[in-house]
Amino acid sequence: MSKKFISFLGTNEYKQCHYTFCEQKTDATFFIQEALLQILSNEFSENGKAIILVTKEAENKNWSQRKNFKNEIISETGLKQVLEKFKIKIEKIEISKGENEDEIWGIFNTLVSLIEENDELYFDVTHGFRSLPMLAMVVINYLKVLKNCKVKGIFYGAFETLGTVFEVEKIPLEKRIAPIFNLTAFDNLLDWTFAVNQFLKNGSATELKKLSEQDFQPLMKETKGKHLESNELKKLANTLESFTKEVATCRGKTVLQKGKEVFKVLNSQEIEIENRELAIPLFPLIKKINSKFEVYSTSDEKEKLIGLFEFCFEHNLIQQGLTIMEEGLTTLLCKKFRLNWEDQSDRDLVGQLDAVSRTSEENWAYPSSEKKEFVRNALIVIPAEILTMQGLVKEKRNDINHFGITKQPKESETFNDCLKQGIQKLREIEFFSSEAQE
């Protein structure tokens, strides 16, 4: 692992100016690379490396010497000599102009080959053909996955804010001060976008939690945990991950409460984040997550369970979905008949309703055999479609939980269909009224 500064050298006749970054003003320089390395001097040790990508034209114009637009030498000091004062390794890499797709792919492959596992990267995207900054963003995200690299900074020296070259020449050198834009936040936003998308598509909050710790942990250390924005996003990520773990492990006694907690955090986020400049781009992403948890704000037990079933169905958590559906239906039946939904004997009693409806009383198993009057009355009022649904879900759950090693194993597609049909059927059934629910 090492730290690498990566920059493209351009072909223009550069004018001298100062650069500013985070209230730090650099010495006058012709090259943005010198300014950035001066600013980043504390980040680089002797094992760091500056990689300068140059086309043949850029090398001729600005590497070993500087030339004007007539190709006349105006200084024997180019970027090469300027960088030699820094105590890091300098590597010049020749690239094509990137004027067609093949050349762009060549630059892509070159960049990838220069980076090693776990490198920390600093990108300067000030110069180069107009496609190169976009290519750099693609390479950055590719390397984060392929080689576990960490992006420490993406920078752009905005010399053009001073005006045209002719206008700059009229400005006294001490007043030629151009800003350096820190574009790293856009890379962070892209990471958050991918993480939110992973949650929306797969129901996993792992990346969200990791990002909340990576992006905000240093800030929280500096402010002793008092930075509201950092705390809120960290709390959101932790709460989402807690909820997904509850779903993944089918924690029936607490999962709905966790869903409600997520809803509360998400809605507090809307209030706190909406007017914060740094977090404004995250707000629409958070709203997309919020739409999945609105159901947990209701007191209707059936609706909350349906929301949970849908979460499993949408994120291909089929085994969890079938388990939660069978047990959720049992909970609804217990509450409907005013039984103790946390008592295993009562759960077994209502869980047998489908089976006993298809057998004679003398063959009823315990506990139905001990509570025949209750069972008879229940079978009178309970809709047939609930019994059918109970039996079908139980069959599919047993099949999937026994690894398909049963007398008549079902095709994999049938489990997804069962979960989908169960959601539709339960939504249509009006048997479960709110009066009996806690």
Residues 311-325: pLDDT tens digits? 999 999 999 999 999
Q: pLDDT by residue (tens digit) across 416-428?
A: 999 999 999 999 9
Six token digits for residue 287: 């709203």
Count CB-CB contacts under 10 A for residue 425: 15
d(CA 78, CA 80): 5
* Lowest-confidence region among 181-195, 207-221, 289-303: 207-221
pLDDT (0 to 100) of residue 226? 43
- Whether residue 192 is predicted with pLDDT greater than 60 in this model: the reply is yes
Burial track 355-378 (b if 16+ CB lie within 10 A, e otherwise)? bbbeeeeeebeebbeebeebbeeb
- Band (232; pLDDT cuts 50, 70, 90): confident
User: Is 228 in a helix, a strand, or coil?
Assistant: helix
pLDDT (0 to 100) of residue 224? 44
Domains within the chain, CATH numbers bracketed: 3-182 (3.40.50.10640), 190-296 (no CATH), 317-428 (no CATH)
What are the helix (H) ranges across 77-205?
79-83, 101-114, 132-146, 165-169, 184-202
Positive/negative CA dihedral, 36, 39, 42, 43:
negative
- Whether residue 438 is predicted with pLDDT greater than 70 in this model: the reply is no
Tell me which of 285 and 5 has the higher pLDDT. Answer: 5
Instruction: Report if pTM > 0.85.
Output: no
* Lowest-confidence region among 38-42, 238-242, 245-249: 38-42
User: Is 229 in a helix, a strand, or coil?
Assistant: helix
Q: pLDDT by residue (tens digit) across 349-362?
A: 999 999 999 999 99
pLDDT (0 to 100) of residue 277? 46
Q: pLDDT by residue (tens digit) across 64-87?
A: 999 998 889 999 999 999 999 888
Angle at 243 between CA 345 and CA 351, to 5 degrees: 20
**DSSP 8-class letter at 58:** H
The residue behind tokens 């209750």 is 374
Alpha-carbon 389 to chain mean position: 36
Alpha-carbon 343 to chain mean position: 40
Angle at 27 between CA 120 and CA 19, to 5 degrees: 65
Residues 340-354, mean pLDDT to the nearest whole number: 96
Residues 232-253, mean pLDDT to the nearest whole number: 92
d(CA 357, CA 368): 11
Positive/negative CA dihedral, 383, 384, 387, 388:
negative
pLDDT (0 to 100) of residue 270? 47
d(CA 80, CA 233): 44
- Band (363; pLDDT cuts 50, 70, 90): very high
- Whether residue 274 is predicted with pLDDT greater than 70 in this model: the reply is no
What share of the chain in percent tops pLDDT 90? 71
